[in-house]
Structures are given as C-alpha cells and as structure tokens.
C-alpha cells in the first residue's frame, strides 16, 4: 500500500528500531512506548486490521502470532507480557496496517489497555 506508514517501515523507506525480522514479519520499537518494553509486530504483507482477516488470509495474522513468543524471549519477558491489536476508530487504531503491540517489562494493570 503506497501510502501506508507500516508498509513504508517494512520497505525501509521510514527508519525504525528493528528487534526481529523473518521472511514474513517485522517487529520494531514503538516510537511512543507505553511501558519499558513496547514493540509492534507487523506482517510484511498489508492487511488493514484484524477486522479484515478471513480464512483465506488468516496465515498473515498467524505469521505475527508465531513471532510473538520468539520476540518475548529475545526481550527477556520471562514473567509475561500483554498483546494488543486495536481495531478501527472505536478500538483506537491509528495506523491502518494490522499490528500487534507487545507490552511488558513491568507488572501491568488488570484493566486492559496499556
Ligand atoms: P495503534 O494506535 O494503531 O494501535 O498503534 C499504532 C502505534 O504506532 C502507536 O503506538 C504509535 O506510537 C506507533 N507509531 C506511530 N508512528 C510510528 C512511527 O513512525 N514509528 C514507530 N516506531 N512507531 C510509530
Ligand atoms: Zn501497510
């Protein structure tokens, strides 16, 4: 997607602090971290959000999910962490490219969010 911020980050057109990459997924540090560890996991193929996941393209979301425990290990999140995917305007999604937040590095509240 030509005008998509995360597609541009995947393409290397916008710099990011990479923490993990494989053939399908890129993970990088959130520019405005809400916790000591705050990483965004994005598929290299554009999908708008979880709301656009279907049986045909579910593997794209799965690429991200398989990467999450690897990234958590790399980051030393041995005591747990939170995974969030905001969907659409009411869900607080600001970048319309599917992504999963990995939040951790401290004891998080039980009330969701960050
Ligand atoms: P959303 O609100 O869509 O769930 O999450 C988008 C996230 O992307 C936000 O947490 C925001 O801080 C982060 N973000 C926005 N622009 C950039 C950027 O240019 N670089 C990085 N690394 N993160 C960004
Ligand atoms: Zn995109």
Dihedral sign, CA of 88, 94, 100, 104? negative
Within 10 angstroms of residue 78's Cβ, the number of other Cβ atoms is 9
Tell me phi and psi for residue 111, to 5 degrees: -105, 20
Overall CATH class of domain 5-104: alpha beta
pLDDT in tens, 9-20: 999 999 999 999
Q: Which atom of ligand 1 is nearest to the CA of 85?
A: 4
> Which residue in the list 38, 46, 99, 111 is annotated as catalytic?
99
The two beta strands, 18-21 and 25-29, are antiparallel
Q: Which atom of ligand 1 is nearest to the CA of 32?
A: 12
How is the chain split into domains, by residue range? 5-104
- The residues pairing with 84 across neighbouring beta strands, listed in sequence order, are 101
99 is catalytic: yes
pLDDT in tens, 62-95: 999 999 999 999 999 999 999 999 999 999 999 9
Q: What is the pTM of this model?
A: 0.97
Whole-number Å distance, alpha carbon 6 to ligand 1 midpoint, is: 9
Q: Please give all residues whose beta carbon lies within 6 A of any atom in ligand 1, as ranges.
A: 5, 14, 16, 28-32, 40, 86, 92-95
Report which of 68, 73, 78 is spatially closest to residue 102, judged by C-alpha positions. Answer: 68
């Amino acid at each position: 997607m030509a005008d998509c911020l995360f597609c541009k980050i995947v393409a290397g057109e916008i710099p990011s602090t990479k923490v993990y990459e494989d053939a399908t997924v890129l993970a990088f540090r959130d520019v405005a971290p809400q916790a000591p560890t705050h990483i965004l996991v994005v598929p290299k193929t554009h999908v708008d959000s979880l709301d656009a996941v279907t049986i045909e393209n579910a593997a794209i979301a799965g690429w991200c999910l398989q990467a999450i425990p690897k990234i958590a290990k790399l980051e030393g999140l041995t005591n747990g962490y939170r995974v969030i995917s905001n969907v659409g305007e009411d869900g607080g999604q600001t970048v319309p490219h599917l992504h999963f937040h990995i939040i951790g590095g401290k004891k998080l509240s039980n009330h969701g969010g960050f």
